[in-house]
């Protein structure tokens, strides 16, 4: 049975790509959601229909909450990985996964040059 230590270092490039995707999504998705909510609310406000305006306001609030939640995905990832913190022998390795997912342009160690998977 292969020892799993080093997996995050061997696959750091993959985790880094996922981290950059999360970074882009964390910025774009909340903006898109909020803009679409504002447009929907604006349409409801133009119709001067109280029921449509109320529905549009609730929809806007839901979209803002979703946008904020998406922004906090890296924090959620860090929390989930912190639950694994009891495995001291693997801690530095899995911290590289956390760093690649939550901060791909700063703390991610992608220096591993060997094969990702050993046969």
CA 82 vs CA 37, 39, 69, 99, 108: distances in Å: 34, 39, 19, 12, 17
| Predicted confidence pLDDT, tens digits, the chain (119 residues) | 333 447 888 888 888 899 899 888 888 888 888 788 788 878 877 887 788 778 878 877 888 788 788 778 778 877 877 776 655 556 677 778 888 888 888 878 877 766 665 54
pTM (two decimals): 0.65
């Amino acid at each position: 049975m292969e020892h799993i230590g080093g997996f995050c270092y061997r696959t750091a490039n993959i985790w880094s790509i996922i981290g950059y995707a999360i970074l882009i999504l964390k910025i774009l998705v909340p903006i898109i959601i909020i803009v679409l909510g504002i447009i929907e609310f604006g349409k409801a406000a133009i119709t001067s229909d109280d029921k449509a305006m109320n529905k549009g306001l609730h929809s806007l609030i839901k979209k803002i909450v979703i946008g904020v939640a998406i922004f906090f995905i890296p924090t959620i990832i860090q929390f989930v990985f912190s639950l694994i913190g009891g495995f001291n022998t693997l801690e530095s390795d899995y911290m590289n996964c956390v760093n690649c997912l939550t901060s791909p342009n700063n703390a991610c160690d992608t220096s591993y040059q060997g094969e990702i998977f050993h046969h």
